[in-house]
Amino acid sequence: MPISNTYQPSAPAAKTGTGSAVSNREDLSNELSILAPEETPILSLCSKGKASPPFSEWTVDSLAAPATTGISEGSDVTSFSDKFADRARLGNYIQLMRRDYIVSNLQQAVTSVGPANVAQAEAKSMREIKRDIEATIASNNEMTVENGAGTPYGMRGLGKWIQSTAQATNPVPAAYRTPSGSIIASTLSESSFNTMIGSIFAKNGEMNSLTLVANVALRQLISNFTRATPASAGVTYHVNQDATSKQITLSVNLYDSDFGLVKIVNGNPSCMPTGSTNVGYVLNPKYLGFNTLIPMGATRLENQGGGERGFIDVAGTLCVKHPQAHGKIAYS
């Protein structure tokens, strides 16, 4: 198989001049520029743990409703409640991810414009697989089971975990699914955003614990909440301006709702799902994890004559510890 590399010399362009100037090395930068979003905000929110193959499981439970009636004096305990009767098991399949590389012997030997050696190839593969993990976590993928006919084990992404209806495979029990009030599936407004945050708070009762990871379109809508006033003739924008620095602040990084602060961060535009125009996940990091069976690592393989080669791999899965702790915005 031919190896693609940066050592692809073409006929040299004709040079003018005489003497030693003809053989002077051209002034070329040794820096290599890669323009690609590399942030992994969702993966960064996840706690890290150990997974068991091939189906990593955890349990969820709930508390009984508060009681307001008392107990009669002298009454005996005649009935007992099973405190684990409502406990349920959730799980996700472990997904193997891999990025391979090869650098030809010739490419390794020459001095190239921009580093192009084994270390660089390995480092690039590492950066790529981190984006693979982020995109898979953020996806609408349903979990899949290895069938020996080309379908590998695959993890369920956040888009499928955070839904009020039953999933196609290993559905979340109805008592533990994300309520519809925590999902915005139509036009976003400040009112509907507050309603969603309130729905999440009603389930976990925790203040200042949420992070909204939003795609580009949704982030712009959020920033317009408090500074856009519709009028018959147009829109009036309210902005914060620092007269000293002559700086105008248009973005919203923290949203102070009735149920606490929500941190707002940009999702990686290369990794956020593309099925809807406006997409975002409202996440409580306490109930989110990425568990690994094979930690991310590099393996160098034997040079069989064509060049140095190897791969980066990781085997892990998304752990949504409690679907009711999170929310979702997804609509076009």
Q: pLDDT of 302-319, one tens digit each?
A: 999 999 999 999 999 999
Over range 188-194, report the average pLDDT.
94
Please tell me the predicted confidence (pLDDT) of residue 244.
Answer: 76
Please tell me the predicted confidence (pLDDT) of residue 30.
Answer: 53
In single-letter form, the type of residue at position 79 comes to S
pLDDT at 134 over 70: yes
Q: Which tokens sit at 45?
A: 């929110």
Q: Which residue has the tokens 């190239």?
A: 112
Q: Which helix (H) or strand (E) holds 200?
A: helix 190-204
Q: pLDDT of 82-92, one tens digit each?
A: 999 999 999 99
End-to-end Cα spacing for the chain: 43
Smallest CA-to-CA distance from 95 within 154, 50, 161, 137 is with: 154
Judge contact between 285 and 211, C-beta under 8 A.
Answer: yes
b/e 218-245 (16+ beta carbons within 10 angstroms → b): bbebbbeeeeeeeeeeeeeeeeeeeeee
Q: Which residue has the tokens 């009636």?
A: 69
Count of Cβ atoms closer than 10 Å to residue 62 Cβ: 13
Report d(CA 331, CA 329) in Å as an integer: 7
Peptide bond into 295 cis (omega under 30): no
Please tell me the predicted confidence (pLDDT) of residue 34.
Answer: 65
Bridge partners of 297, per DSSP, are 313
Please tell me the predicted confidence (pLDDT) of residue 235.
Answer: 62
**Structural domains of the chain sorted by starting position, each given as residue range(s) with its CATH number in brackets:** 40-59+87-227+249-331 (3.90.1690)
Q: What is the pTM of this model?
A: 0.85
Ranking 3-7, 35-39, 79-83, 139-143 by mean pLDDT, the lowest is 3-7
Report d(CA 227, CA 235) in Å as an integer: 9
pLDDT at 20 over 50: no
Residues in Cβ contact with 81 at an 8 Å cutoff, skipping those fewer than 6 apart? 64
In single-letter form, the type of residue at position 2 comes to P
Bridge partners of 262, per DSSP, are 210, 255
